[in-house]
């Protein structure tokens, strides 16, 4: 019997078949989340599989500093759906049907809608919402992580190995699949990129369940929650956390701080001055200079200015722009004032 005989939105016999082989590890709970409010509330308490690789410094977008800011309440989590998230949500049912069509001997449950279940290791505070739970007669229970990928992005980011062995997912997606499989007690894991171009293709990429990945992750998550409890944030990655830093310290308070004993700020200012001289030659220097600007703003915090040992002042006052054809915005404009004679 194939999964196609069961309505996708009904538990039916398909869910019963999965339940027969679904035995989560000790300490992992299965929490029904048919509504988004319940699901988001649970996720807010955990490091979820989709961002966990950030704590291994292996995530494409998320950073430890950003994750700390979100989970510690320094910034409010953005619940608005982005364009890629919307694409993934709308195309996920298509991927589920492709799985069923290409593997008619599998029992496939789409973990979404009224039957969505959140898997949570409450002690470790790690959680996951697998896209698809699969019962394969040959291998047992598996977890399949679905990603919708534009064709050119797939070629650039997934086909990086020229040995002909096939596509490889970005590391953070592989880590996500491993976590999901581990939390449901699966025997195998896979990533299924739905590649949308002139047609639709979906290779199935097996992900080895390396125990070492979960060991490293559990240690990193334990340290993360220790940092949150002790208000001990991670050092920022100024190349990646610049936008977040600008948001955290968007408003100056008009004050001044003493930077006369800060050797690092002197190094930054020298490097920044050299980049400013080269900015006319291209955009690379400007991009590099913005990394230093992020570090300067982080050093100043909400102070409007800082005084160096040689008497110079670094100013980063808030500049507000009215909205015309674009939305209103604000930013910290960095200026260096020479010491008065």
Pair (116, 252) in one structural domain: no
> What is the pLDDT at residue 277?
78
Specify the range with the lowest mean pLDDT, choosing from 86-95, 123-132, 235-244.
Answer: 86-95
Phi-psi region of 194 (alpha: psi -120 to 50; beta: other; left: phi over 0): beta
Confidence label for 49 from pLDDT (cuts 50, 70 and 90): very high
Q: Which of 209, 230, 251 is the last residue of a domain?
A: 230
> What is the pLDDT at residue 291?
92
Strands 47-48 and 126-128: parallel
Please, what sign has the CA dihedral across residues 324, 325, 328, 333?
negative
Confidence label for 147 from pLDDT (cuts 50, 70 and 90): very high
pTM of the model: 0.83
Q: Which residue has the tokens 């699969």?
A: 134
Q: Give CA 88 to chain center in angstroms.
A: 15
Separation between Cα atoms, residue 102 and residue 271, nearest integer Å: 56
DSSP secondary structure of 39-64: HHHHHTTSEETTTGGGGGT--SS--H
> What is the pLDDT at residue 9?
37
Pair (314, 270) in one structural domain: yes
Confidence label for 7 from pLDDT (cuts 50, 70 and 90): very low
Backbone angles phi, psi at 331, to 5 degrees: -160, 165
Pair (248, 207) in one structural domain: no
Instruction: Kindly report, residue by residue over 11-39, the tens digit of the pLDDT.
Output: 455 555 565 556 678 899 999 999 999 99
For residue 84, give its domain range: 3-230
Residue 15 lies in a domain: yes
Residue 328 has pLDDT above 70, yes or no: no
Phi-psi region of 162 (alpha: psi -120 to 50; beta: other; left: phi over 0): alpha
Confidence label for 161 from pLDDT (cuts 50, 70 and 90): low
Pair (265, 144) in one structural domain: no
């Amino acid at each position: 019997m194939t999964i196609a005989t069961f309505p996708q939105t009904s538990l039916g016999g398909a869910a019963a078949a999965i339940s027969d082989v679904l035995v989560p590890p000790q300490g992992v709970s299965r929490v029904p989340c048919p509504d988004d409010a319940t699901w988001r509330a649970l996720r807010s308490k955990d490091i979820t599989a989709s961002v966990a690789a950030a704590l291994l410094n292996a995530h494409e977008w998320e950073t430890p500093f950003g994750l700390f800011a979100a989970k510690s309440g320094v910034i409010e989590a953005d619940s608005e759906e982005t364009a890629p998230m919307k694409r993934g949500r709308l195309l996920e049912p298509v991927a589920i049907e492709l799985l069923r069509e290409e593997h008619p001997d599998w029992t496939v449950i789409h973990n979404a809608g009224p039957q969505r279940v959140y898997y949570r290791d409450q002690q470790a505070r790690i959680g996951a919402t697998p896209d698809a739970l699969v019962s394969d007669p040959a291998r047992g229970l598996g977890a399949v992580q679905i990603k919708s990928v534009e064709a050119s992005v797939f070629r650039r980011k997934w086909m990086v190995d020229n040995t002909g062995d096939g596509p490889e997912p970005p590391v953070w997606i592989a880590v996500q699949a491993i976590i999901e499989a581990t939390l449901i007690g699966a025997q195998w894991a896979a990533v299924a990129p739905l590649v949308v171009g002139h047609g639709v293709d979906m290779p199935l990429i097996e992900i080895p369940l390396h125990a070492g990945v979960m060991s490293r992750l559990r240690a990193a998550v334990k340290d993360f929650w220790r940092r949150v409890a002790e208000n001990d944030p991670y050092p920022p990655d100024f190349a990646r956390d610049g936008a977040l830093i600008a948001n955290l310290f968007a408003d100056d308070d008009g004050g001044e701080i003493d930077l006369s004993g800060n050797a690092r700020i002197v190094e930054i200012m020298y490097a920044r001055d050299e980049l400013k001289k080269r900015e006319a030659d291209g955009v690379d220097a400007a991009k590099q200079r913005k990394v230093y600007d992020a570090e300067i703003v982080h050093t100043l915090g909400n102070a409007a200015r800082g005084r160096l040992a040689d008497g110079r002042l670094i100013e980063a006052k808030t500049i507000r722009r009215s909205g015309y054809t674009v939305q209103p915005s604000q930013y910290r404009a960095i200026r260096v004032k020479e010491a008065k004679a």
